[in-house]
């Protein structure tokens, strides 16, 4: 646990909420930190990952696809690893979203999304 003391509490809370399935709340927590560091594209990309998970739970595939494209752009400069996040695996997951999520319709039944087998984006657990 001592390794993680160097990270902001909001950064750690983001991952706690994310792994609790509280995707919107995770998004909000990290956005609060990002507002103090607007130049931090890494945070912006992680915020979008949480938003994608929230969209997928609701079956909003068009929104998830759009967010995946921009998240890739925000996260790519942080390859391969940053602040305990395997950025390469996250980007691989985002590309999987773009391959598997249908372009139309904009919204599908959430159960159909879960059958695509995307799972959750692989982010670290700080426990």
54-96 residue pLDDT tens: 999 999 999 999 999 999 999 999 999 999 999 999 999 999 9
Q: What's the pLDDT band for 127 if we cut at 50, 70, 90?
A: low
pLDDT of 44 strictly over 50: yes
Question: What are residue 52's phi and psi, to 5 degrees?
Answer: -60, -45
pLDDT for the residue 110: 83
Average pLDDT for 85-114: 93
Structural domains in the chain, sorted by start: 7-114 (1.10.3450.10)
pLDDT of 1 strictly over 50: no
More confident residue, 104 or 50: 50
Average pLDDT for 21-48: 96
pTM of the model: 0.93
What does the alpha-carbon distance between residue 29 and residue 54 come to, in Å, rounded to a whole number? 14
Residue with tokens 């750690």: 12
Maximum CA extent, the chain: 47
Residue 39 DSSP code? T
């Amino acid at each position: 646990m001592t390794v993680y003391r160097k990270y902001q509490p909001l950064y750690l809370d983001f991952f706690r909420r994310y792994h609790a399935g509280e995707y919107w709340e995770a998004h909000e927590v990290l956005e609060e930190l990002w507002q103090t560091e607007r130049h931090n594209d890494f945070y912006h990309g992680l915020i979008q990952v949480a938003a994608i998970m929230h969209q997928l739970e609701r079956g909003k595939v068009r929104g998830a696809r759009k967010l995946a494209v921009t998240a890739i752009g925000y996260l790519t400069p942080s390859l391969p690893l940053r602040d305990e996040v395997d950025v390469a695996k996250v980007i691989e997951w985002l590309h999987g979203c773009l391959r598997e999520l249908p372009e139309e319709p904009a919204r599908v039944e959430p159960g159909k999304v879960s059958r695509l087998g995307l799972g959750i984006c692989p982010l670290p657990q700080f426990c």
